[in-house]
């Protein structure tokens, strides 16, 4: 039980940290326009597929600072065939360079909350909270008139901060101001 409480506190800490960066960055450069993106990423830091929101803040000389938060799930049913989905939250900070064609470099944490069997307290279900460090290096194309964009990249991660895994992803979505 203490492990579950500690895991929930870590999730809360990372979510508060993520949103505090968003609010601080918006207040400090409120005279500049921010780009907001909503997109689906196939593979990538969120696992098999994730729905993401991103806030990009223009800096100087075509540099952009981006903050990303997403949601994914792999299994909807748990090991007892009951509705009890895996919850996956990719969070990242990255830098982009360019206007229409962009280079993306970043890092973040993927938080996975997965149901597990507790054999000592059967049939009580517990959840395991795992953190995986993710990295991104990739390319993004933004169509300036329509707001549609496409991205692809190499997104390796250190699963449970122990095992290095090669991974890649493709994203497609819509950017708006």
* CATH code where residue 56 lies: 2.40.160.20
119 versus 85: which is more confidently predicted? 85
Return the pLDDT at 138.
Answer: 98
Position 13 confidence tier, pLDDT thresholds 50, 70, 90: low
User: Rg of the Cα trace of the chain?
Assistant: 18
Number of domains into which the chain is organized: 1
Position 74 confidence tier, pLDDT thresholds 50, 70, 90: confident
Contact 123, 107 (CB under 8 A): no
Return the pLDDT at 177.
Answer: 85
Contact 90, 73 (CB under 8 A): no
Position 117 confidence tier, pLDDT thresholds 50, 70, 90: confident
Return the pLDDT at 88.
Answer: 96
Chain CA centroid to CA 87, Å: 12
The proportion of the chain whose per-residue pLDDT surpasses 70, expressed as a percent, equals 79
Position 75 confidence tier, pLDDT thresholds 50, 70, 90: confident
- Residues 21-52 have pLDDT tens digits of 444 444 444 334 568 999 999 999 998 999 99
- For residue 141, what are the domain limits? 2-176
Separation of alpha carbons 33 and 58, rounded Å: 7
Position 9 confidence tier, pLDDT thresholds 50, 70, 90: low
Position 124 confidence tier, pLDDT thresholds 50, 70, 90: low
Average pLDDT across the chain, whole number: 84
């Amino acid at each position: 039980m203490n492990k579950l409480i500690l895991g929930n506190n870590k999730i809360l800490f990372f979510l508060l940290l993520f949103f505090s960066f968003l609010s601080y960055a918006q207040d400090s450069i409120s005279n500049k326009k921010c780009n907001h993106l909503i997109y689906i990423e196939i593979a990538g830091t969120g696992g098999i597929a994730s729905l993401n929101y991103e806030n990009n803040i223009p800096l100087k000389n075509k540099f952009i600072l981006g903050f990303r938060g997403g949601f994914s799930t792999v299994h909807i049913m748990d090991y007892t065939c009951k509705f009890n989905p895996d919850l996956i939250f990719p969070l990242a900070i990255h830098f982009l360079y360019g206007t229409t064609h962009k280079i993306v470099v970043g890092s973040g944490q993927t938080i996975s909350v997965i149901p597990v069997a507790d054999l000592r307290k059967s049939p009580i279900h517990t959840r395991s909270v795992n953190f995986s460090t993710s990295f991104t290096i990739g390319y993004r194309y933004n169509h300036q008139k329509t707001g549609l964009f496409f991205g692809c990249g190499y997104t390796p991660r250190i699963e449970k901060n122990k095992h290095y895994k090669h991974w890649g992803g493709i994203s497609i979505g819509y950017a708006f101001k």
